[in-house]
Structure 1
Amino acid sequence: MSIQSSTQPIRFFHRGKVVEVRGTHPTRSVLDWLREDARCTGTKEGCNEGDCGACTVVIGELAGAGNVSGEGAVGGLNLQTVNACIQFLPTLHGKALFTVEDLKSQCEMQRDPAQHEKHAVRQLHPVQQAMVDCHGSQCGFCTPGFVMSLWSTYEHHQAGGTQPTRQQLADDLSGNLCRCTGYRPILDAGQRMFDLPAVRLDTAPAVAALTGLQRETTFTYAAPWTGNLAGAATASGTTLPRIDRYHAPKTLDELATLREQNPKAQLLAGSTDVGLWVNKQFRDLGDIIYVGDVGAMKVVEERGDTLYIGAGASLESAYGALAQRVPALTDVWLRFASPPIRHAGTMGGNVANGSPIGDSPPVLMALDADIELRRGEHVRWMPLSEFYIDYMKSHMQPGEFVQGLVVPLVAMRRQVRVYKISKRFDCDISALCAGFAIELDGDIVKEVRLAFGGMAATVKRAAQAEAALVGKPWSQVSVKAAKLALAQDFKPLSDMRASAAYRLQVAQNLIQRLWLETRTQNALPAEATSVWSVMPHITAVAAVTAVPGAVA
C-alpha cells in the first residue's frame, strides 16, 4: 500500500472563523500563540504552570464527538475551561477556542426581537458588567481568567435554566487566584451576572465549523523542518501517517501501532504535567504521540460488573463517575487540582505518571482497580497495587501504554473513605493521601484496603497494617495494632510539604478516623469529622449532572 505523505495545518475555530496555523513548533503553547501571533492579549501569563488561572480560556468540542458526552452541552458544544499556558497549540485541531475577546464580540450587536433591527445593547458582557458592578477587580491582571471561568459557568447554567449556588461558584473558581481584590466581590459578581439581561453564545457558527473539521479522518502535523515521513497500514486497511515530531492518531489501533514502533516517544494527553516539563524544565520532548483524539480512550462506562475508565478520560469525568457511585469520593474529586486541570488532565495519565503524591492511585487501589496495558495487539491486566516498582518506575514495558482502568463495582459497596492532607484546602499537592475501604461481617473486619500516597517512593498499600485488622474485631484495640504496624509498612521522608514524623502520625490518625466513622456502634457522622461536609455544597450525584463531559 502506498504511503500518503501529505500534512495538514492546525485548524480550529477562533474569533468567529476557522483559523489555520502552519509551521509552529509542536510544543508552542496556546497562550504564546494568542498573545504573540493572534494579538489577543486579554489572556494573561502568570505562573505559566497552570496554578494561577490568569490564562484561563474555554475550549469547545462537539457534543457526542470522540465519546465526549452531551451532558451539559451548550448549543451542541461541550465547553470546558483549561489553562492556555500548558496546552500545546496542535491539540486545538478540530476544536473551538474562546477567549475574553469573544465576550466583547457577543455584546457589540444583538438583535432586538421587538424592533427587528440590530442595535448596540451594551459594551460589556453580563459577566464583565457584574465584575464592574460588584467591584470585583483592582489591578485587573487576574480578571480575564476569572471572567472566562465565570463565563463558562454562565453558559452552562443558562443552558440548564438554573443558577449556581455560591459554593458552586467557589468550586468553579478554585483554579483562579487573586492577590488584591479578595473573593467575596468576585463571588458576588458570579451571582449578579444572572440578574442582568441575558447574552447567550451563538454556537451555530462554531458548531457548523467544527462539524466540517470533524469530517477529517486523520490529522498529522509537522513543522517545515521535519520530514522523514513513514507509514504503516492499520488492521482496517487505512493508511496511518507518521511524522517526526507530532502524531495524532484517531483510533486505538493507530495509537498501538505508533507506540509499538516508537516506544521512546512522549505520550501526551492533557499536558498538565508534560506542559511543565517544557515551560519550567525547558525539555525537548522529541517525538510526541497525542492521545486526545482517540475517542475510545475517553470512554467511562459500566461493563458487566466493572466500571471501565478509559485512560484518556478526563479527571473530571472519571472522578464524577466514581463519586456518583461512591459519594465519599466527592471531597477528593473537588479538591484534586482545579477545574481547568481536571478538564484537561486524565486519570490514566495520573496513574501512568507514577508520582508518589498522585491522588488517583490511592483511591483506585482502595477500590481494587486493575490497570489495562496494551502493546500492539496484546492487552494485559494487572492489579494497580502491583504496578509500581520504585520511584517513577513501573512494570510498563517498552512500546506499551495504559489503555484503561477497571474498577470492580463490588468494591464500591464497601465503606470507602479518601483523606487528602495538604497545606491549602483547594488546589494543592497532597502531603499525603489515603484511600481506605473496609467491609465488616458484624463487628469483624472481613476485608480492608489501606492505600497511601506520599508515604514512600511509590503509592502502595499498607500490607502489615491490613494484616493486623483482617479477621479481628473492628475495635480500638485492633486500630492500635494497625497503627503500630503502619510504622513497619512505611519509612516516610521529610520534604518541603511535611516531615517524616508528621506524615507517619497523620497516617496513623487517619486509621483512627476511619474507625470513628465506620465503627458498628456510635459511628460519628461526617459533619463531626470533616469540615467539608458542613459546607453548603452540592451532592455527588447533583454534581455529576452539572459537569459537562461527565459520563455515567
Structure 2
Amino acid sequence: MNTRQNVRPVRFFHRGEVVEVADLAPTTTVLQFLREHAGCTGTKEGCAEGDCGACTIIQGELDAQGRLQLRNVNACTQFLPTLDGRALLTVEDLGGPERLNPAQQALVDCHGSQCGFCTPGFVMSLTACYEQHQAAGTTPTRQQLADALAGNLCRCTGYRPILDAGERMFQAPARCIDREPIAQALQALAADEPLAYGPAGARFHAPQSLPDLALLREAYPQATLLAGSTDVGLWVNKQFRDLGDVIYTGRVAALREIRTENGSLWIGAAASLEDSWAALTAAVPRLRELWLRFASPPVRHAGTLGGNIANGSPIGDGAPALMALGADVVLRKGAQQRRLPLQDFYLDYMKKDLQPGEFIEALQVPLPSAGWRFSAHKIAKRHDSDISAVCAVLALQVDADGTVREARFAFGGMAAIVKRAAAAEATVVGQPWTEAAARAAAAALPQDFQPMTDMRASAGYRLKVAQNLFTKLWLETGGAQAAPLGIWPSMQEVAA
C-alpha cells in the first residue's frame, strides 16, 4: 500500500440517497453535520459527551455476511468520516405527522413525552430495540426495554409511560424500516477505495486491511488512533484539541473478528463493546450485570473493547474483567506481533508498554476451565450509564477438595492503574476457601491499595466497599451453593 492515498469525499447513505461530503473538517461530528449542514434538527444536542441520549441516531452497516445491521449510537461523539460506507438514519427518516412509526405512535398513546427535547433520542433507541426484536422474532421484557434505554437519561415524564410505550409498540401490527434500499446502497459503496479525507497534517485515514493499518501506523506513529470515538470525540468536543492525522480502525474487518481458538477467545481490537461483552458473558455468565452497566447501548455499539484497554483509564471497566480472566494483549508493529499479560501492559497512570508505531491488534482471553468461580461488581452513584467509583472482578480456581489453586483479584478505581491485588491473592492461594479466607483477603487489601479521594468517592469509602466485596465473593461462591464457571444468578434473576 502507498501511504500517500488519493483523497476523496466521505460517502454514505442518508435520506434515501448516497450523500457526498468533501468540504467539512474531518473532526466535524455527525451531530454538527445534521444540525448545521443537513437541516435535520430533530436530532438534539444535550450533553455533547455521549451520556444524555438526546442526539441518538441509528447507524446501518453490512456485516460479514452482507446483512444490514442497525444500531443506535450517539451523534455527538462520532466524527463524520466514520460514516463512510455506512447509513445514517435520524428521526426524520422514521415517520411524520401523517403516519408515525411504531415507537413514535406508542409514545403519543402513552403520554411518554413532556418537554419533548429528549423525545427524538428515545424514539431512536426504541426503534433500534424494535428492529432488533422484530428481526429476531422476539418481544422484549420490561427489564430489557429499560436496559435498551439506559443511554437516554432524561426522565421528565417519569419512566413508567416511556416503558409502557416500549411495550405498546410491539402490540401494533409490525412495521419495520425498509432495509432493502439501504443494503443495496451500502453494497455499492463497498466498492469505494479506502477513505483518505481532509488536508495534509489533519487527514482522516480509514484503511480496510490489517497490513495497510500497520503500514500507516508505522508511517504516522504520532497520528491519533481512532476506534469508537467515545473518548477521543470528547477531546474535540470538550477540550478543543487538534487531533492532527487520524487513523481509523473501524473499517478493518480483521480487527472486528471475535472467534474461539485453542481454548481462548480472540477479540479483535476494533470489535464493538457490545459484541465483545456478549462473547465474554457467554463464557462467564457472571459478568452479565457488568456488561449491562458498562456505559450504555449507544456507547457500547460505537466503542470498542480494544479502545477501552488502550485508553488505560484507571476507572475503565473492561480491564478488571480481562485481568481476572487472565487475558493477554496482542500488540502489532508492522508484521511483528508481541504478547504480554494485560496486567503488565499498564506501567503508570495513562502510561502503557506500547512502542511508537505499535497498536493493539487483539485481546486473547483464556476460556475458564473447571473450578473457576467469578464475582463481578461495579460501584457507582447511578445504576445506568455512570463511571465507576470501584470496579472489581474477583476470580478463584478452587480444587475439588475446596483448596484455592489460583486467585485473580482485579480492581479499577483503587490506584493510578487497574491492577491485581497481589497481597490479597496471596492470603487465599493454597488455603481452603472459607469465610475466614475471604476475611483475610479483605484485611490484606490495604497492602495493595491506598486509593484517592475525588468527586466520585472518598478513599475510605473505596477501601471499605472493596473489602466488603470479598464478603459477596464468599456468599456467591462458597457461603451459598458454589457455582461452577461463575454461573451464578444475578439479583434480577433471583427476583424473577
Normalised TM-score (structure 2):
0.96
Residue 248, structure 1, aligned to residue 206, structure 2: yes
CA contact (8 A) 1:368 1:411 kept: no
Does the CA-based 8 Å contact 1:369-1:383 persist in structure 2?
A: yes
Distance between the aligned counterparts of 2:369 and 2:352, measured in 1? 24
- Residue 532 of structure 1, CA deviation: 3.7
For the residue of structure 2 that corresponds to 1:186, the secondary structure is helix
The match for 1:166 among 138, 142, 160 is 142
- Partner of 2:411 in structure 1? 452
Count of residues paired in the alignment: 494
Consecutive unaligned residues of structure 1, counting only runs of 5 or more, are 71-75, 109-121, 228-242, 537-552
**1:284 aligned partner:** 242
Aligned pairs (5 A) from 1:84-163: 84-104=75-95, 122-163=98-139
- Counterpart code for 2:51: D
> Is the contact made by 2:371 and 2:398 (CA closer than 8 Å) also made in structure 1?
no
**Aligned equivalents of 1:455, 1:260: Cα separation in 2:** 35
Aligned equivalent of 1:7: 7
Give the deviation of 1:123 after TM superposition. Answer: 2.4
SS in 1 for 2:182: helix
Q: Distance in 2 between matches of 1:2 and 1:257?
A: 9
Distance 1:496 1:142, change over 3 A: same
The answer on 1:316 being equivalent to 2:274 is: yes
Cα offsets for 1:162-196 (capped at 9, x unmatched): 22111111111110022411111011111111222
Q: For each residue in 1:45-102, what CA deviation from the matched residue of structure 2 results, as whole angstroms up to 9, or x when unmatched?
A: 000000000000000001326xxxx7xxxxx310000000000000000000000000
Distance of aligned partners of 1:391 and 1:195 in 2 relative to their CA distance in 1, 3 Å threshold: same
Q: Are 2:295 and 1:337 aligned?
A: yes
CA distance in 2, matches of 1:322, 1:397: 28
Contact 1:419 1:434 in 2 (8 A): yes
One-letter code aligned to 1:300: I
> In the TM superposition, what is the alpha-carbon distance from 1:259 to its structure 2 partner?
0.8
What letter is aligned with 1:165?
Answer: T
Name the CA distance, whole Å, in 1 between partners of 2:61 and 2:239.
31
Alignment of 1:182-261 (within 5 A): 182-222=158-198, 226-227=199-200, 244-261=202-219
Indicate how the Cα distance of structure 1 residues 143 and 3 shifts in structure 2: closer, same or farther if over 3 A, else same. closer
Against the structure 1 CA distance between its residues 269 and 524, is the aligned structure 2 distance closer, same or farther, given a 3 Å change threshold? closer
Alignment partners' CA distance in 2, 1:444 and 1:493? 34
The residue number in structure 2 matching 1:534 is 494
Rg: which structure is higher?
A: 1
Q: Match of 1:33, as an amino acid?
A: F
Distance in structure 1 (CA, Å) of the matches to 2:447 and 2:453: 17
Stretch deviating more after TM superposition (2-11 or 330-339): 2-11
CA contact (8 A) 1:389 1:395 kept: yes
Letter matched to residue 432 of structure 2:
P
Gaps of 5+ in 2: none
2:452 maps to which of 493, 502, 520? 493
**Residues 62, 484 of structure 1: CA spacing in aligned structure 2 closer, same or farther, 3 A cutoff?**
same
Tell me which of 296, 309, 314 is aligned to 1:356.
Answer: 314
Deviation of 1:481 after TM superposition, in Å, equals 2.0
Opposite residue 418 of structure 1, the aligned amino acid is A
Of 370, 382, 393 in structure 1, the residue corresponding to residue 351 of structure 2 is 393
1:81 aligns with 2:67: no
The answer as to whether partners of 2:209 and 2:254 remain within 8 angstroms in 1 is: yes
Q: Which amino acid aligns with 1:246?
A: F
CA-CA distance at 1:204 after TM superposition: 1.4
Give the conservation status (yes or no) of the 8 Å contact 1:331–1:532: no
Residue 479 (structure 1) shift: 2.1
Pick closer, same or farther for the CA change 1:3–1:377 going to 2, 3 Å.
Answer: closer
CA distance in 2, matches of 1:59, 1:206: 11
Identity of aligned residues (%): 60
Kept in 2: contact 1:306–1:407 (CA 8 A): yes
After TM superposition, give the deviation of residue 455 of structure 1 in Å: 0.3
* Aligned residue in 1 for 2:261: 303
- Matched residue, 2:390: 432
> Residues 244 and 496 from structure 1, CA distance in 2 versus in 1: closer, same or farther, beyond 3 angstroms?
closer
1:2 Cα deviation (Å)? 8.2
Work out the CA distance in 2 between the residues paired with 1:533 and 1:57. 31
Bigger relative CO (Cα 8 Å, ≥ 6 apart): 1
TM-score, structure 1 as length reference: 0.86
CA RMSD of aligned residues (A): 2.1
Residue equivalent to 1:232: none
3-state SS of 1:104 partner: coil
- Partner amino acid for 2:300? R
Partner SS for 1:467: helix
Contact 1:313 1:346 in 2 (8 A): yes
Partner in structure 1 of residue 40 of structure 2: 40
The answer to whether the Cα contact below 8 Å between 1:443 and 1:520 also exists between their aligned partners in 2 is no
SS of residue in 2 equivalent to 1:452 = strand
